[in-house]
A = this chain, B = another copy of it.
Amino acid sequence: MTASPHAAAHRATELEIQRLLRHGAALPGDLPLPDHHQLWTAFSQAADGGKRFRPALLLSTHSALGGTRERAAVQVAAALELLHTALVVQDDVIDGDQLRRGVPSVSGGVAADARRAGSSPEAARRLGEAAGILAGDLGLIAAMRAIARCEAPAPVVDRLLDLFESTLHATAAGELADVRLQLGPADGHVVLRESLAVAELKTALYSFQLPLRAGALLADASPEVLLALDEIGCLLGIGFQLLDDLLGVFGDERRTGKSALGDLREGKRTALIAHASTTDAWPALHPLLGRADLDEADARRARELLTDGGSRAWVEDVARWHLSSATEAAARHDLPPALVTALDLTTHQMLRAADLPLPDHEGLPV
């Protein structure tokens, strides 16, 4: 397998994303108000600079399964990226996040512009939130339309639309549950169980199951392969979310691009923190969380408590278990070697990003 066909598909996907963004910019024609330009420009900027991880997963799945619908795969891959952008933009509204990947979020950027133009902080915040909600809507609609119009036979398009819709229902449920957990009282074991369910619904389904299944549908894969990919996508996705929780507290800021104080300052109720609430470290840890003035010394203390109380090791173990189970499932279900390789590569990239040792299994060709 040479790199060039993949590289060509990735370039084509990037072009398709940019084409969809230009299409949206021109859509409503000449409007008598400046607000559409502001809205779509902010969305387009949010769509730039992503790692295009979900499109890559779709494209490699489609091609590893022998799919030949290159054009449709590129179109659906681009739709996945717009969907991801829309969810991220609205997530920032829901969480009140002003920054994303170190630059202003859509809601944060529009609010900052309004403040500079003389709005009160409250008025600016409300305008920014409206912009984030509406930009997300337009991104979702663009993604749905791109799928509805992709160049695959009608029965495949219908299945893709159904997949998209059911995935979004689960993602929305996971997002709402996440907010509920963040805001509710900390009831250790319940929160721990639910935080794993949130990781599955909010992240695993749309970031892993959806690209894998969409690539497989486009490749006319068998029902057995589809079910195997659902299982693998769920395992990979939960593993990914757990590693992301670890990186949010223990990660190297220079590599993750986000502050390792953010999650602690926000008091984010991740599986890591949910586990800690069931340990003896909790009485000392709890007062440190959710403080906007948490400093580097506090963060060091919190990291020590999470490490010494066993929460860090527990989350690492659970993450590794999910990722190695995914690798084992890929082998057990007798998937094509090219797909096993692609999935294994994904797993190893995740573990390397988290500075964790590779999982202890029999080893598959990488």
B134 touches A175 (CB 8 A): yes
A88 interfacial by beta-carbon distance below 8 Å: no
Determine the chain B residues whose CB is within 8 A of the CB of A126 once the complex forms.
Answer: 94, 96, 179, 183
Tell me whether chain A's interface is mostly helix, strand or loop, or mixed: helix
Count of chain A residues with a beta carbon within 8 Å of a chain B beta carbon? 67
A237 interfacial by beta-carbon distance below 8 Å: no
B24 touches A169 (CB 8 A): yes
A127 touches B180 (CB 8 A): yes
A145 interfacial by beta-carbon distance below 8 Å: yes
List residues of A (297-323) whose CB comes within 8 Å of B's CBs: none
List residues of A (164-181) whose CB comes within 8 Å of B's CBs: 164-166, 168-170, 172-177, 179-180
A46 interfacial by beta-carbon distance below 8 Å: no
B28 touches A119 (CB 8 A): no
Determine the chain B residues whose CB is within 8 A of the CB of A201 once the complex forms.
Answer: 31-33
A244 interfacial by beta-carbon distance below 8 Å: no
A142 interfacial by beta-carbon distance below 8 Å: yes
B27 touches A138 (CB 8 A): no
Determine the chain B residues whose CB is within 8 A of the CB of A29 once the complex forms.
Answer: 166
**A166-B27 contact, Cβ under 8 Å, with A123-B183, A137-B137:** yes
Q: Which of A27, A29, A119 has the most CB of B within 10 A?
A: A27
A194 interfacial by beta-carbon distance below 8 Å: yes
A130 interfacial by beta-carbon distance below 8 Å: yes
Q: Which residues of A contact B (CB under 8 A)?
A: 24, 27-29, 31-33, 35-36, 38-40, 90, 93-94, 96, 114, 118-120, 123-124, 126-127, 129-131, 133-138, 140-142, 144-145, 148-149, 154, 157-158, 161-162, 164-166, 168-170, 172-177, 179-180, 183-185, 194, 197-198, 200-201
Shortest Cβ-Cβ A-B pairs, 4 listed = A36-B173, A123-B183, A148-B148, A134-B172
- 14 other contacts beyond A24-B169, A140-B140, with CB at 8 A cut-off? A27-B166, A31-B197, A33-B197, A33-B198, A38-B176, A39-B172, A90-B133, A90-B134, A94-B130, A94-B133, A133-B133, A134-B175, A141-B168, A145-B165
